[in-house]
Amino acid sequence: MPSSPAASPAAPRRRPGGPSAVLGLLGELLITLGVLLGLFVAYSLWWTDLVADRHADTVAAKVRQSWTAPPATRPGSDAKPAPPRPFEVGDGIGFLHIPRLGKDYQVLITMGTDTDVLNQGVAGVYRSPYPAAMPWAKSGNFAMAAHRDGHGAKFHDLPELRRGDRVVVETRDTWYVYTVDSTLQRTSKYDVDVTAPVPAESGYRRPGRYLTLTTCTPAYTSRYRMAVWASLTRTQPVDAARDVPAELR
């Protein structure tokens, strides 16, 4: 009887791991990292915008409501108006309107440029190193800042402003209409002199009633700072009907 053929040797089993496993793990890590980055971008831009806008709208409504109340008076029979108290960080000062950026463009102006203030979707007024002069001051620079991206991104389109554009500041009793005179598209983020009472690079040579708007540039970075300078053109009282200036119609 013929002998049965010898069984062929079994194929060697492949060890787990090796280059393929490493590449697979690396791919999974890259996909996970991409998802996390996407979520972070969504949080940084969309979600922070939503939260900031809601907060700013709530504070803006309170500011406008406070304007409808009669001015505080001194104690006594003469009932003279009490002197206004100094603004503190976070206090609402008024509203910023820029027709170039849309007929409904409105930004709440508050005191302070700390991150926790600007993150509330507002334009913050500088307190240092050059304390901003209020619009009603006889001279000085009403300088403010706002985020370019995220947290409301109120100054995202600031580079669109051109010489001759109007910028309107609304307070309780007065409209202040400014005209853009010059812009500085890029400077160091440490260039605090753009908010000086008479900014050197603005073209102004003597004290006046100026407005400065600053934000980070380019978009989605904080590498540099840009500035827009404007000078007061005229004022208009706020009447009972609250008619807006012609520049906003």
127 neighbors 110 (Cβ within 8 angstroms): no
| Structure-block tokens of residue 108 | 């709440």
Q: Which residues contact 207 (CB under 8 A, 6 or more apart)?
A: 139, 140, 197, 198
CB contact set of 77 (below 8 Å; sequence gap of 6+): none
Active site residues: 216
**Measured in whole angstroms, how far is the alpha carbon of residue 133 from the centre of its chain?**
20
Beta strand ranges found along the chain (DSSP E): 92-97, 107-111, 123-125, 140-145, 166-170, 174-188, 209-217, 224-237
Residue 141 β-bridge partners = 210
Cβ of 172: how many Cβ atoms within 10 Å?
Answer: 15
